[in-house]
């Protein structure tokens, strides 16, 4: 099991999660950070400190960001990085590299949208159709 960094981190990279990780398994790319699934000890320390809610347990990844499980894992692909070598600041996974610039305004819109979705789900529970 591992935690995963998804799209909200892209172009934010404030590194708040890095200082929390007890095993130093969060690595920095050019536009986002990545969690090495082979090193993550599933401790949950990083997830609450992320200001944009980019970090998820792999079982809790939203469906629209499910591919970030592979994005994080493939970033540490041994074909591209010899075992034990850190890949800090050496570029990004192609999925991340291809994303348009993620503005802070856009992230606020995402977070408002997420809250709206949760409220809608709660409303469905209390007022079933
Ligand atoms: S869950 Fe723990 S070990 Fe895994 S990346 Fe987060 S802080 Fe590091
Ligand atoms: S705390 Fe969140 S936004 Fe900040 S670097 Fe980590 S994953 Fe990215």
- What is the structure's pLDDT at 113? 46
- What is the structure's pLDDT at 103? 74
Burial 17-37 (b: 16+ CB within 10 A, else e): bbebbeeebbbbbebbbbbbb
Paired tokens of 51: 């200001």
- What is the structure's pLDDT at 128? 46
CATH match for 3-99 among 3.40.50.10860, 3.90.25.10, 3.40.50.300, 3.30.70.20: 3.30.70.20
Whether the CB-CB separation of 7 and 72 falls below 8 Å is answered with no
- What is the structure's pLDDT at 77? 83
Residue from 45, 50, 56, 69 whose mutation best tests the ligand 1 pocket (most atoms within 8 A of CB)? 45
Residues with a CB atom less than 6 Å from ligand 2: 5, 9, 12-17, 33, 49-50, 52, 54-55
For the chain, 129 residues long, give each residue's pLDDT as a single digit of tens.
999 999 999 999 999 999 999 999 999 999 999 999 999 999 999 999 999 999 999 999 999 999 999 999 999 986 555 555 555 456 899 999 999 998 765 555 555 444 444 444 444 454 444
- What is the structure's pLDDT at 99? 95
**Residues 45, 51, 53, 55, CA torsion sign:** negative
Whether the CB-CB separation of 71 and 93 falls below 8 Å is answered with yes
Domain-wise residue ranges, the chain: 3-99
């Amino acid at each position: 099991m591992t935690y995963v960094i998804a799209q909200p981190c892209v172009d934010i990279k404030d590194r708040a999660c890095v200082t929390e990780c007890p095993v130093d398994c969060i690595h920095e790319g050019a536009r986002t950070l990545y969690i090495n699934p082979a090193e993550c000890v599933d401790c949950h320390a990083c997830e609450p400190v992320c200001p944009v809610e980019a970090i998820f347990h792999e079982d809790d990844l939203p469906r629209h960001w499910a591919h970030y499980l592979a994005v994080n894992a493939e970033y540490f692909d041994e074909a591209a990085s010899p075992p034990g070598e850190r890949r800090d600041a050496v570029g990004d996974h192609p999925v991340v590299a291809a994303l348009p610039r993620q503005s802070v305004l856009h992230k606020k819109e995402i977070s408002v949208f997420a809250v709206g979705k949760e409220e809608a789900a709660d409303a469905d529970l209390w007022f079933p159709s």
